[in-house]
Amino acid sequence: MDTIAERLAAWAEGEEARFLGRLEDEEPCNRWIAEYWRIVGDAAGRPAYRHVDGRTTDANGDRWAWSAAFIGAGVWAATRGAPWFAYCEWHSTYVRDAIARAQASGDQPYRGFPIDALPLRRGDIVVQWRLGIGDGAGNRPVTFERALSIDPFTSHGDIVVRAGPGGAEMIGGNLADTVLRRSLVLDEAGRLRDTSQARGHWFALIRFAA
């Protein structure tokens, strides 16, 4: 099927195969990450992103997190340059936009749902809150219900490449400094009920309309 979801999943699989577990600061991976940033920067109107690559560090000497740039570059490829996606260095930007679109009337190109609202399927983006910015204490994670009221918040998104009763596989960027595949345990209906899997609190599912 030639859908956005299928193209996005296939793109993620291609990037996994291209990186082969090599790290962000190695060549040619460093250049590929720079291309993610160029795409996202141009789409978001943020030319400063053109100067970021897999070796760029912040004021504390930490390398820039590029997982949201990975998602943005994938969506750009899958949608063939659609302008409606909320491209940004923050996952929370597109998450909040997807949730707002789900609450709006009329046709929407993508929508956000609570993580257990639908069975996961190939080409979905699944999102977890990560300790950092947004809601302070680690025992009080960002939830789907509160996400629209917090901007920004620290989170991470992965692209689902396989899903069915019992389990799912997903691919994300900037995991262990590379492109990495992980798995989730699902219930018999294909929904994620145990939100504490894979290092964090899972709270949102983003689905493309076509």
For the chain, how big is the Rg over CA atoms in Å? 16
Spell out the residues 6+ positions from residue 186 whose beta carbon is closer than 8 angstroms to its own. 119, 120, 163, 164, 165, 166, 167, 168, 192, 193
Segment 114-121 shows an average pLDDT of: 97
- Are 171 and 157 spatial neighbours (Cβ–Cβ below 8 Å)? no
HSE-up (13 A, CA, CB side) for residue 73: 22
CA-CA distance, 151 to 153, in Å (whole number)? 6
CA-CA distance, 93 to 72, in Å (whole number)? 11
Residue 6's CB: how many other CB atoms inside 10 A?
Answer: 14
In angstroms, how far is CA 93 from the centroid of its own chain?
11
Identify the band that residue 138 occupies on the pLDDT scale cut at 50, 70 and 90: low
| pLDDT at residue 137 greater than cutoff 60 | no
pLDDT of residue 133: 62
| pLDDT at residue 149 greater than cutoff 60 | yes
Mean pLDDT computed over every residue of the chain: 94
Q: Which two tokens stand for residue 172?
A: 């994300």
| pLDDT at residue 134 greater than cutoff 70 | no
Q: Where do we find the tokens 């190939």?
A: 122
| pLDDT at residue 136 greater than cutoff 60 | no
| pLDDT at residue 127 greater than cutoff 50 | yes
pLDDT of residue 139: 58
- Are 123 and 160 spatial neighbours (Cβ–Cβ below 8 Å)? yes
Query: Among 95-99, 101-105, 139-143, whose mean pLDDT is lowest?
Result: 139-143
CA-CA distance, 208 to 197, in Å (whole number)? 24
| pLDDT at residue 79 greater than cutoff 80 | yes
Q: pLDDT of 159-180, one tens digit each? A: 999 999 999 999 999 999 999 9
Q: Where do we find the tokens 């920004």?
A: 152
Spell out the residues 6+ positions from residue 76 whose beta carbon is closer than 8 angstroms to its own. 39, 40, 43, 82, 85, 87
Model's pTM, two decimal places? Answer: 0.95
Q: pLDDT of 175-208, one tens digit each? A: 999 999 999 999 999 999 998 898 778 999 999 9
pLDDT of residue 199: 77
| Backbone torsions φ then ψ of 110, nearest 5 degrees | -155, 155
Q: What percent of the chain has pLDDT over 70?
A: 96
In angstroms, how far is CA 43 from the centroid of its own chain?
16
